[in-house]
Amino acid sequence: MQEYSGKVCQPPEGYIVIVVARFNKSISQRLLDGALAKLRQHNVREQDIRVVWVSGAYETPFIANYFAKDPDCLAVICLGAIIKGETSHDQHISRAVSMALWEIASKTEKPVIFGVLTCDNIEQAKARSGVIESVKDKSINPAPGNKGAEAAEAALEMIDLLTELPLVKSDSLLAIPGMILQMANSLFSSGIFDDDDDDDDGYHEHEYSNEDYSTVRRIFVPHQTKRVKKIAKKNTKKQTKNKKK
């Protein structure tokens, strides 16, 4: 049996993004203070922390996606507070944000932490964004109930876990854009890659550029380089003749 576990520790080279919702700022500021205190506690450098303020929790996935696509970004922490009102608006926002953040994490294979409070009232939000003041140096430290600190802790743990996991082999064909796959299927079905050099049936039905042939050759048929070059040359001659006409 193989077992993997991440540690809450100083992350490797890269930066961490904290996306904070300005709506209910009195709460989100306390969450941010807790997250920053936790990152500093584990020696994350100031230049490796990027804080981005957005108008509300609903806008956090957009910025999360923007940064998560960057290879240098280690993780994205999303903070905010959605507090129940007189309507069901909070439920729709909470559901949309949580689902969007999960999709971003799944798509980018990057830790995207959901640190957005979903509370019935302001008292619950305050209890989950608690801060304590150090008597010694008057600095703000994360209190046991600060969900911002917990979100930062989760991010650090996930970053470390990813460094411990083995590389997973994936089928390269699955990563090829659908357009390339479609083009390749069309080429193969046309008989363009048949072994018989004299059989070009179906060749004239498809007008692709030399770059297209190069892409398909590199991905699908590396052993038929000469064959594809020959066909690409014929294609160029045919296009030249058509232009003259």
Q: Which residues contact 67 (CB under 8 A, 6 or more apart)?
A: 17, 19, 50, 52, 73, 76
Task: Tell me the backbone φ, ψ of residue 10, rounded to 5 degrees.
Answer: -65, 130
66 neighbors 179 (Cβ within 8 angstroms): no
**Residue 135 three-state SS:** coil
Q: Which of the following is catalytic: 42, 89, 92, 206?
A: 89
223 catalytically annotated: no
How is 151-206 classified by DSSP, letter by letter?
Answer: HHHHHHHHHHHHHHSPPPP--GGGGS-HHHHHHHHHHHHTTTT-S-TT--TTGGG-
Catalytic residues, by residue number, are 89
